[in-house]
Amino acid sequence: MGSTTSNHIIEEIIATIEIPDSAYEGAEKRYQDLGNWFARPESNCYVFEPHIFPQGSFRLGTVIRPLIGNEPYDLDLGCNLGQGLTKNTHTQEQLKNLVGLDVESYRVARRIQQPQKEKHRCWRLTYADALGFHIDIVPCIPEAAGRRRLIQEAMVRAGSAEALAQVVANLTVGITDNRHPRFTAVCDDWNISNPQGYARWFESRMKLATALLEMRMLEYRAARVDDLPVFRWKTPLQRCVQLLKRHRDKMFSSNSDLKPISIIITTLAARAYRGEADLSETIQRCLAEMSGLVNPKSPRVPNPVNPAEDFAEKWATEEGRASNLEGNFWAWLDQARADFEVISSSNDTNFIAEQALQKFGSCLNANELRDKLGIAIPVVTVSPKSHRIIESPARPWKQ
């Protein structure tokens, strides 16, 4: 089967797992509204110049519909207090409680019924509406200049361009975590994170699809691709990540705690991507090369914006070994390769629909799929001499 055929099939599956643009737009309105609330002079955080920003799959444009229809979407946000608050002046607990005060006042003002909930690193708000969002707000502050410089140097040694490494490293932040042994004490060894920097790195990988992004700019009449919300880029890399995550979710639907985590899949796929405009080629390349991008020793899957951090660190923990997390990753990758090969090599739409449901939880109508792709129903005749059944070949896929 040709690449065009595979692309048609994959696009039909994507249509069933992609969330509508209105959901991205609704999420954007939510975090902008929260940001405006924190920016009020009356807010507790106002003097520290708070900045609310999205992170995770909403930021990357790789959100997928939940397998179970009523599951909420997780909208992950950071709240960066950019001035006047440091590790030498405040504890993690004080920072978290400070942000929590404004989260609570926002909840009351917006008449959100469920109480805010404290998680290890963040505050959670739960909306009871049609969009069905959890919003997790992680308090953070800019990381010290010396630490940012060391990360920049490590990124360059790992192969990042100097300009990208400088921009990305400067976005590193220290975050709160109530599991930290000195959560209630003034200390300088906070956990660090860089969701904004990771998004910039992921965008740099997507921008390898130059011709496609130029087409998106024309489509939306944008002067620059950066003027477009990332969810409108719709690059093959984003689509590939969505499909791989959905395949993983379906494979581990009976025990989601055992599944490979999204950040590992996203990072390995982005590293494997070479700017292909063809979706089928992108998936084939990523699945073929992901195994070679896992290091034999720690860090097994380095964070591209902090190479010393290992996204696969739990593989080597006692709990991770007991759950066979590494083995589950390799089993998933082998299964994904096999399933994409099978579903891309058939022109039997009944079989394709069956596989889409079994492997992706996607409901495709075999007859509609046949019509869309221009496949004729095979004509069955019986040879008068041999009495053998002869099946006429189907028409080729539409080009």
Question: Mean pLDDT lowest for which of 167-181, 230-244, 286-300, 375-389?
Answer: 375-389
CA distance 193 to 208: 25
Closest listed residue to residue 94, CA positions, set 178, 181, 188, 179: 178
Look up the pTM and report it: 0.91
Q: What single string gives the DSSP state of each residue in 264-301?
A: HHHHHHHHH----S-HHHHHHHHHHHTGGGS-SSSSSS
Q: Is the pLDDT of residue 98 over 70?
A: yes
Burial class (CB in 10 A: 0-12, 13-18, 19+), 121: buried
pLDDT given for residue 228 in this prediction: 86
Residue 318's pLDDT band (cuts 50, 70, 90): very high
In this predicted structure, the answer to whether residue 258 has a pLDDT above a threshold of 50 is yes
Task: Count the domains in the chain.
Answer: 1
Residue-level pLDDT at 73: 82
Please state whether beta strands 191-193 and 389-391 pair in parallel, antiparallel, or not at all (unpaired). unpaired
Residue 288, judged by CB atoms within 10 A of its CB (0-12, 13-18, 19+), counts as exposed
Q: What confidence score (pLDDT) does residue 17 get?
A: 93
The reported pLDDT for the residue numbered 378 is 53
pLDDT at 393 over 80: no
Domain annotation covers residue 371: no
Residue 118 structure tokens: 């404290």
What pLDDT was estimated at residue 278? 92
Q: How far is CA 128 from CA 69, 70, 266, in A?
A: 15, 11, 30
Whether residue 82 is predicted with pLDDT greater than 70 in this model: the reply is yes
> pLDDT over 70 for what percent of the chain?
92
pLDDT tier at 236, thresholds 50, 70, 90: very high
Considering the domain boundaries, does residue 388 fall inside one?
no
Highest mean pLDDT among 64-73, 144-153, 216-225, 370-379: 144-153
Q: What is the pLDDT of residue 53?
A: 95
Q: Is the pLDDT of residue 398 over 50?
A: no
The pLDDT, as a whole number, for residue 382 is 52
Is 253 domain-assigned? yes
Q: Which of 187, 74, 183, 189 is nearest to 133 (CA)?
A: 74
What confidence category does residue 383 fall into, taking pLDDT thresholds of 50, 70 and 90?
low
The arithmetic mean of pLDDT across residues 263-283, rounded, is 96
Average pLDDT over residues 80-91: 95
pLDDT attached to residue 380: 47
How far apart (Å, rounded) are the C-alpha atoms in residues 55 and 381? 58
Nearest CA to 307 out of 146, 144, 191, 158 is that of 158
Q: Give tens-digit pLDDT for 185-197.
A: 999 999 999 999 9
Residue 214 covered by a domain: yes
Q: How far apart are CA 362 and CA 269, in angstroms?
A: 22
DSSP string, 73-141: EEEEEEEEE-SS--TTT--HHHHHHHHHHHHHHHHHHTT--SPPEE-SS-EEEE--SSS-EEEEEEEEE
pLDDT digits (tens, 9 = 90+) for 8-33: 889 999 999 998 888 899 889 999 99
Residue range 165-181: mean pLDDT, rounded: 97
Percent of residues, the chain, with pLDDT higher than 90: 72
The overall average pLDDT reported for the chain is 90
In a domain, 375, yes or no: no
Mean pLDDT of 110-119: 94
Q: Is the pLDDT of residue 131 over 90?
A: no
Instruction: Indicate whether 290 pLDDT > 90.
Output: yes
- The residues near 370 (Cβ < 8 Å, ≥ 6 apart) are 349, 377
Place 397 in a pLDDT band, splitting at 50, 70 and 90.
very low
Query: Which of 338, 373, 330, 331 lies closest to 358 in space, CA to CA?
Result: 338
Per-residue confidence at 2, pLDDT binned at 50, 70, 90? Answer: low
Q: Which of 62-71, 157-166, 309-318, 389-398 has the lowest mean pLDDT?
A: 389-398
Tell me whether residue 86 is in a domain: yes
Q: Report if residue 202 sits inside a domain.
A: yes
pLDDT, position 390 = 43
pLDDT digits (tens, 9 = 90+) for 326-346: 999 999 999 999 999 988 888
State the residue range of the domain holding 154: 3-364
Model pLDDT, residue 377? 59
Residue 361 to residues 68, 215, 364, Cα–Cα distance (Å): 10, 31, 10
pLDDT in tens, 132-166: 778 999 999 999 999 999 999 999 999 999 999 99
Asked if the structure places residue 399 within a domain, the reply is: no
Q: Please give the pLDDT value at position 117.
A: 96
**Residue 389: its pLDDT value, please?**
45
Residue 314 banded pLDDT, cuts 50, 70, 90: very high
